[in-house]
Structure 1
Amino acid sequence: MSTTAFAASATLLRLNCEAKHQARLFPDFSRRGRSKISKISLFASSRRKSFQFVVASSASGENGGVAEIEAESAPRYYSWPDEKKPRVCILGGGFGGLYTALRLESLVWPDDKKPQVLLVDQSEHFVFKPMLYELLSGEVDAWEIAPRFSDLLANTNVLFFQDKVKLLYPSDHLVINGPAKSSAGGSVLLESGLLIEYDWLVLSLGAEAKLDVVPGASEFALPFSTLEDARKVDLRLRELERRKFSKESLIHVVVVGCGYAGVELAATVSERLQDRGIVQAINVENTICPNAPPGNREAATKVLSSRKVELLLGYFVRCIRQVVDAKASEKPTKSIGVEGIAAEHDFGKYILELQPTEKGLQSQTIEADLVLWTVGSKSLLPQLEPSNRRSALPLNGRGQAETDETLRVNGHPRIFAVGDSSALRESNGRLLPATAQVAFQQADFAGWNLWAAINNRPLLPFRFQNLGEMITLGRNDAAISPSFIEGLTLDGPLGHTARKLAYLIRLPTDEHRLKVGISWLTKSAIDSVASLQSTLTKVISNS
């Protein structure tokens, strides 16, 4: 590890913290005689497990500096660059977390009140999830929708740590529930052993696929919600396309769930496979996209029908099991896919047992080469529960933090929650949907309300404004229903263009928007020239 990279982050650690403070936060460590603070390794050790964090700050003098931190049992305290300025820690770098950090950076602050912002995420890439389908179809490149945090934050004062959050120890509840006061809002323990004290905390940890509801789903089905998921699905499809290249051996793909994610995935995969495969989509309800505007649902139904996607509506998956082809499994292979991702394939088939939800339907058993799962998600917040139950966050049945209308967690005035981590209800009592649109808007309000709280100003109540809904249906097909024009739906190539422009505007930074815009414009020009050449060739050959 270079000395330059370490110099960009060596000032980030404080080793002279009092053992008394550590014992208060971590009673288990003191009981085991681990009150001594461990030191930082100045080099990468091949004998000890190490973790990596990235510093993406213009103030550090290095863009994307990387340092290796040695994992020890006792926590090491993170030293903020300025002990006098407010400390804001943001957990999770999705739409809610990253856009809150960028919002804080864009606001005008008094010199002594501008906060130090630290963003923590276990991945080095921000992922623009609504466009993962375009990655699967080859319409976009990975860097366009999954740029590195270090690149996005290079021209800001926001610090970024690539690490996983392990435990949360809030102390702001002491101000409400008792006379005791805390000098900090609480502490966060990272998996690498780094302990971060904060004044203000933003929870935006997102959610992960819920595969444990059906026997066999976690073992044999692939989710599609992260960059890694998209790469795994692409790798598996490539392997199937390589093996089954004849019309006599079709690729059989089953998509479980027909909400937006399931329909978009079914449309993308069916377009990619064309006549080389069969796509089936299963939904427990008797319609697809039940909560979508009628125009979007009709456009999606039309596209799926034209691509011969078989809809199995009114069914739920009872179980998934694997049937291994004995001849093919004698020689398992390992292939290298996108960016070195390795995967072993046993070339087995998967059997899905379907149970009807309505009378008049019969139970079915279907076979698949690939099962894609888009049903259900679970919040990551319950995994951060501290041992001290008095400081526990108020979570609902879905594992989301209950918040007031200003996005502050109930009982914790110094903690905000946004996106999938927030359980905020509309005026009619319904929970806000866990969509990118909601997270965008909540990040804007969270940033403003943090500014207001730090400057002792009134906080604003969050009000969600539904701007409409969009759905991708292929490389040159989409549907968009804006809320401000009732009954209007743009579909086909026009809807596709409108959707891409809308998402281009929502990309994180001006610099990234410019790069992606130029890239998309160049690709569009190349495709247009290729299409014109193809048309001219056909005309000349027929003349």
Structure 2
Amino acid sequence: MSCRAAPWGRPSAPRGRPFPASARLRGPFGGTNSWKNPVLKNSWRIGDVPAMFGLPSGLFRCMASSSSGDGGFSRPQSIDEAPIPLYPWPDKQRPRVCILGGGFGGLYTALRLESLVWPGNNKPQVMLVDQSERFVFKPMLYELLSGEVDVWEIAPYFTELLKNTSVQFVKDSVKLLRPSDHLRREPGVSCTGGVVHLESGTVVEYDWLVLALGAEAKIDVVPGSAEYALPFTTLEHALKVESELKMLERRKFGKKSPPIQVAIVGLGYSGVELAATISERLKNTGTVKAINFQTTICPNAPPGNREAALKVLESQNIQLFLGYSVNCIREVYASEDSGSMVADAKEAGGGDKKLVLELQAAQRGLQSQVLEADLVLWTVGSQSQILRLQPPDAPYVIPLNGRGQVETEETLQVKGHPRTFAIGDSAALRDPSGKFLPANAQVAFQQADFAGWNLWAAINDRPLLPFRFQNLGEMMTLGRNDAAITANFIEGLTLEGPIGHAGVKI
């Protein structure tokens, strides 16, 4: 997810130790909940229900009653499979809400549910599932490379953020979704919302589901990109890039050798911020080459932000290759004898490894290019995780658009699934003009607020609210002392340079 959240109109956060001052503007205040993952002591063998599903009999009857083409399954012939652990919700009476994904949308939905006033015994049990033990404040990942922040400042543990709340955090990955809220119900049979299978083998039965898994980097785009290019979307990616830069800096230190060469593919928000940050870090010891398919940078950014970013890139002498696409990336070695590039390390005689990018002109009037680099960063392309999580016997049970995003109603409910909500990069939602909402943190923040409220309304049989996005503006970090902020409520105003940077840090 691109995380261009504007600094205004943040949802409220629980009390607790706040983020550092540099992070407060754009993220959750560290509030709240240390939850110790309960040990799954009890295993389930559920009669003659398939152990691979681990479903209680009521849900099994509901799902088995539907047609096989609608996501149901038939009764098995054998029950000799190993028992599957079913997640032990503490209270068998209260509603169970499972939130998949601990990004901006998922975390804030959990906190929103915690903050609401619930009548009677209706306050739900909330589980937050994420494959990482840390919440990552992605707009500040670049500042790891500039040395402005440490890991703990931008990636606090979920258990720390959720301390003093009732939200239960589970560190695990999602393996399979099997919703049942779209199925035909038999009279007198109470059906739940469905089940989630986790990679650990645990099966989570839920009443309400929130899909906030976001998108993952799509790196295998051209030959060599998966092998030789690094993405920059997670904390692990950022730490890997930092490690590679340090290694290159040590290797070049004190030597009369060519400058470090870093190639960045894509000049959207992420590519521009990476280019500015790395160029500022390398200074005279390296060069940055940035490639973009369009003939401009940040095509979806406000004009003021785009112009400010272009000024910074040009002032830092970043080499821009606009109107080009990468055809392939390959590895070569510099021969110590001749200085030429060879594909075989043995022929190079111990020479330095280089990466070669073959660029193809995407616009008329441009010539093909061949670039050399020590490090290639890939910031274009993403893919939804939902498609690979659908049941193999019902691959389209969750409706997706052509981009792999979940089709939702205005209430953020998945179409045909009244007990399932989708937000953030997982969801396909349009604004009143018919355009898809951007995949950024500002949208996820606002959707989390509505998702939390609509879950409250659905559980308490109240009317649900249609989601309406309010664009508050955008910001970009362009190095240690530069940034750009465009406030949507003041037309034509862009804060840039040191003033913009000060605004980001407030």
- The TM-score, its normalising length taken from structure 2, stands at 0.83
Conserved in 1, the CA contact under 8 Å of 2:99 and 2:110? yes
Q: How does 1:389-408 map to 2 (within 5 A)?
A: 389=394, 392-408=397-413
Alpha-carbon distance in structure 2 between the residues aligned to 1:384 and 1:193? 14
- How far apart, in 2, do the equivalents of 1:377 and 1:365 lie? 25
Please give the alpha-carbon distance, in whole angstroms, between the structure 2 residues aligned to 1:315 and 1:374: 15
SS at structure 2 position matched to 1:239: helix
| Aligned residues of 1:19 and 1:36 also touching (Cα < 8 A) | no
- Determine if the alignment matches structure 1 residue 15 to structure 2 residue 24: no
1:189 aligned residue (189, 197, 208): 197
In 2, the alpha carbon distance for the partners of 1:132 and 1:231 equals: 9
Pick aligned residue for 1:213 from 192, 213, 221: 221
Number of the residue aligned with 2:289: 280
Q: Is the 8 A contact 2:387 2:395 kept in 1?
A: no
Q: In the alignment, which residue of structure 2 is the partner of 1:150? A: 159
Q: What CA distance in whole angstroms lies between the structure 2 residues aligned with 1:372 and 1:13?
A: 44
The one-letter amino acid of 2:271's match is G
Q: Is the 1:253–1:371 contact (alpha carbons within 8 Å) kept by the matching residues of 2?
A: yes
- The one-letter code matched in structure 2 to 1:384 is L
Amino acid at match of 2:498: P
Map residues 24-103 of structure 1 onto 2, 5 A cutoff.
25=53, 30=76, 33-37=79-83, 75-103=84-112
| Alpha-carbon distance in 2 for matches of 1:269, 1:121 | 30
Whose helix fraction is larger, Structure 1's or Structure 2's?
1
Distance in 1 separating the partners of 2:234 and 2:397? 28
C-alpha displacement at 1:387, in angstroms? 2.5
User: What letter corresponds to residue 432 of structure 2 in structure 1?
Assistant: S
Q: Does 1:249 align with 2:222?
A: no
Change (3 A) 1:347 1:234: farther
Q: 1:270 aligns with which of 263, 272, 279?
A: 279
- Report the aligned-residue RMSD: 2.3
Say which of 422, 431, 435 aligns to 1:430: 435
Is 1:474 aligned to 2:476, yes or no? no
Question: Could you tell me whether the CA contact under 8 Å between 1:252 and 1:369 is conserved in 2?
Answer: yes
CA contact (8 A) 1:91 1:205 kept: yes
Q: Contact between 2:37 and 2:168, CA under 8 Å: does it hold in 1?
A: no
Cα distance change on mapping 1:15 and 1:254 into 2, 3 Å = same
Give the superposition deviation at 1:25: 3.6
> Percent identical across equivalent pairs?
64
The two structures have a TM-score, normalised by structure 1, of: 0.78
Change (3 A) 1:240 1:29: farther
Residue by residue, what CA displacement relative to the aligned partner does 1:159-194 show, whole Å, maximum 9, x if unpaired? 011111100110000148x87955210000101110
For residue 107 of structure 2, what is the amino acid of its counterpart?
Answer: L
Distance of 1:17 and 1:445 partners within structure 2: 38
**Alignment partner for residue 493 of structure 1, among 494, 498, 502?**
498
Matches within 5 A, 1:349-368: 349-368=354-373
Whether contact under 8 Å (1:12, 1:81) holds in the other structure is no
Gaps of 5+ in 2: 1-34, 55-72, 337-343
Which residue does the alignment assign to 1:160? 169
- State the Cα deviation string for residues 411-442 of structure 1 (Å, max 9, x = none): 11000001111011112221111111111111
Cα 1:249–1:79 shift into 2, 3 Å: same
In 2, Cα distance between equivalents of 1:384 and 1:293: 35
CA deviations 1:457-500 (Å, max 9, x no partner) are: 11110011111011110011100000000010111122112123
The aligned amino acid for 1:253 is: V
Correspondence list, 1:189-338, <5 A: 189-245=197-253, 246=255, 248-325=257-334
> What's the counterpart of residue 60 of structure 2?
none
SS of 1:20's partner is coil
Counterpart selection for 1:484 from 468, 489, 497: 489
Answer 1 or 2: higher relative contact order, Cα 8 Å, separation at least 6.
2
- Partners of 2:273 and 2:395 lie apart in 1 by 43
Where 1:188 maps in the other structure, the secondary structure is strand
Consecutive unaligned residues of structure 1, counting only runs of 5 or more, are 1-6, 38-74, 331-344, 502-543
- Supply the distance in 2 between the matched residues of 1:34 and 1:447 (Cα, whole angstroms): 41
Matched residues in 1 for 2:295 and 2:192: separation? 52
Superposed counterparts of 1:523-534, under 5 Å: none
